[in-house]
Chains A and B, each alone.
Chain A
Amino acid sequence: MKQRTEKYVVTFRTTAGAMAMEAACSAAGLPGRLIPVPRSVTAGCGLCWAAPPESREVLEELVIKKRLDVDGIYAIIL
């Protein structure tokens, strides 16, 4: 298994919300990628955006600016 590190994780209420996040991050050149939502965040399914913890501030600015449909924001070890 891969080495676990701290990640900044953003969850969404819809798949469209996750895709909007990916598109916005890609356009802005921000780091991260979509992964299946880990059980430590929420049971169920869906996609979340996982990024290095140091990107938290710029990502939160992007979420507000683009009115992205975010469900929750977490700092977890993945």
Chain B
Amino acid sequence: MIYLDNAATTRTKPPAVAQAVLEALSSYGNCGRGGHQGALSAARAIYETREKIAALLGCPRADHVCFTQNSTQALNIAVCGLLGPVDHVISTDLEHNSVLRPLYRLRDAGAAVDFVPADSRGRLDYCGFERLLRPETKAIVCTHASNLTGDAVDIARVGRFAREHGLLFILDASQTAGVLPIDLAAMGIDVVCFTGHKSLMGPQGTGGLCLREGLEIRPFTVGGTGVQSYSEAQPGEYPTRLEAGTLNGHGLAGLSAALDFLSETGIARIHAHEDALARRFYKAVRDLPGVTVYGDFSAPVRAPVVTLNIGDLDSAEISDELAERFGIATRPGAHCAPRLHRALGTEEQGAVRFSWSYFNTEEETAAAAEAVRVLAREALEG
């Protein structure tokens, strides 16, 4: 199987990840529950993981890295914990449902939510942020890169706009943490929500939020913390404030090993490899008769995603052909990105997404391009 569905999850992980999880499974106690070696081993590994995430994402304090199961949970915590029914929020058409649904729920509770539009090629109109600004606007919630097209948002520009207007900036880094540079402090970001299992190359069930200092987030869940046990209220200090219940220590041990790999390899090198493969594929398929590729490839910085359709064929059918005949794993359908599919005019057809990781090769990329060429020719021949 040629795995090109890395925007959904990276299937191939650095070998040290599985080894770290295995060792954790056979040795860890529960972080913060007791002072024996098993509990301390888990607590040390989790704390080290906080330090590594803080270093990667420009978070000034390791104790302001709070772990969750995934980005979706992190985004729910940020949206529900910072925003309320009297607020106005600006988001974009590029968003995944992990951003959209918490915002729609907030809107249903009374808040106002507006979306910076994407054009029919999926490009964001940055003037929309200014146009949508209101006196009661409290926050911008947006993705760093579309999971559908790979187009990246200029988050430094959005961060400057947020700072100029006193807005909170909540960033969904699901598609970019580990592959594009993110600096919470330097880019004017208040919250970075990340997942561990995509470009960070860690296990599923890991993710979290990085917070700037001084941010007051209402906890989404409350419960056992291993500290301040006679307090009726959830402790107010981070990360405990947002981490009720047992953490995924085994998964975080794997994420820690993945972060070591990222650090040793360098995310610039990782992105250069993935970007080169994605652009090579794009160049091979963009002019094929009947093939439509979505997204802006003139942009110098983008996530390693190429999404296309062949004629008016169902994207699910194309993806199934790719898997069954050519052994190539892709993702068809809506990709949990309904607003961008509407903007692109692909609501009914969906689209076939190819997405790369550091472990993909030129040979795999060439084979995928050849498969698209064959399917496009067959489509023309009817």
Q: When chains A and B are docked, how far (Å) is the Cα of A36 from the Cα of B29?
A: 14
B27 CB–A CB distance under 8 Å? no
8 Å CB interface, A17-49 against B: 17-20, 22-23, 34-36, 43-47
A77 CB–B CB distance under 8 Å? no
Using CB atoms, name the residue of chain B closest to A11: B227
Measured between beta carbons, the chain A residues less than 8 angstroms from B44 are 19, 22-23
The A-B contact count (CB < 8 A) is 67
Contact with B along A41-72 (1 / 0, CB 8 A): 00111110000000000000000000001000
Measured between beta carbons, the chain B residues less than 8 angstroms from A18 are 43
B91 CB–A CB distance under 8 Å? no
Q: How far is the CB of B169 from chain A (nearest CB, A)?
A: 24
**A15 partner, pick from B48, B51, B230, B240, beta carbons under 8 A:** B240
Residue pair B34, A14 in contact (C-beta under 8 Å): no
Residue pair A35, B47 in contact (C-beta under 8 Å): no
Q: When chains A and B are docked, how far (Å) is the Cα of A14 from the Cα of B244?
A: 12
**A13 partner, pick from B51, B228, B229, beta carbons under 8 A:** B228
Using CB atoms, name the residue of chain B closest to A68: B63
A78 CB–B CB distance under 8 Å? no
> A19-B43, A47-B35, A69-B63 known; A14 and B237 CB under 8 Å?
yes
Measured between beta carbons, the chain A residues less than 8 angstroms from B228 are 13, 44, 46
Q: When chains A and B are docked, how far (Å) is the Cα of A46 from the Cα of B39?
A: 11
> A13-B235, A16-B62, A16-B63 known; A34 and B40 CB under 8 Å?
yes
Measured between beta carbons, the chain B residues less than 8 angstroms from A35 are 35
Measured as residues with beta carbon below 8 angstroms from the partner, the interface class of chain B is 20 to 34
Using CB atoms, name the residue of chain B closest to A45: B229
Q: When chains A and B are docked, how far (Å) is the Cα of A43 from the Cα of B40?
A: 20
Contact with A along B22-42 (1 / 0, CB 8 A): 000000000111110000100
Q: When chains A and B are docked, how far (Å) is the Cα of A44 from the Cα of B62?
A: 25
B15 CB–A CB distance under 8 Å? no
**A16 partner, pick from B40, B50, B229, beta carbons under 8 A:** B50
Q: When chains A and B are docked, how far (Å) is the Cα of A51 from the Cα of B44?
A: 19
A8 CB–B CB distance under 8 Å? no
Using CB atoms, name the residue of chain A closest to B61: A67
B311 CB–A CB distance under 8 Å? no
Q: When chains A and B are docked, how far (Å) is the Cα of A34 from the Cα of B227?
A: 14
Q: When chains A and B are docked, how far (Å) is the Cα of A17 from the Cα of B64?
A: 11
Measured between beta carbons, the chain B residues less than 8 angstroms from A23 are 44, 47-48, 51
Residue pair B237, A69 in contact (C-beta under 8 Å): yes
Measured between beta carbons, the chain A residues less than 8 angstroms from B43 are 15, 18-19, 47
Measured between beta carbons, the chain A residues less than 8 angstroms from B110 are none
Q: Which residues on B are within 8 Å of A, measured CB to CB?
A: 31-35, 40, 43-44, 46-48, 50-51, 62-63, 225-230, 235, 237-240
**Given A22-B44, A43-B230, A44-B228; 5 other pairs, CB 8 A cutoff:** A13-B237, A14-B240, A34-B40, A47-B43, A69-B237
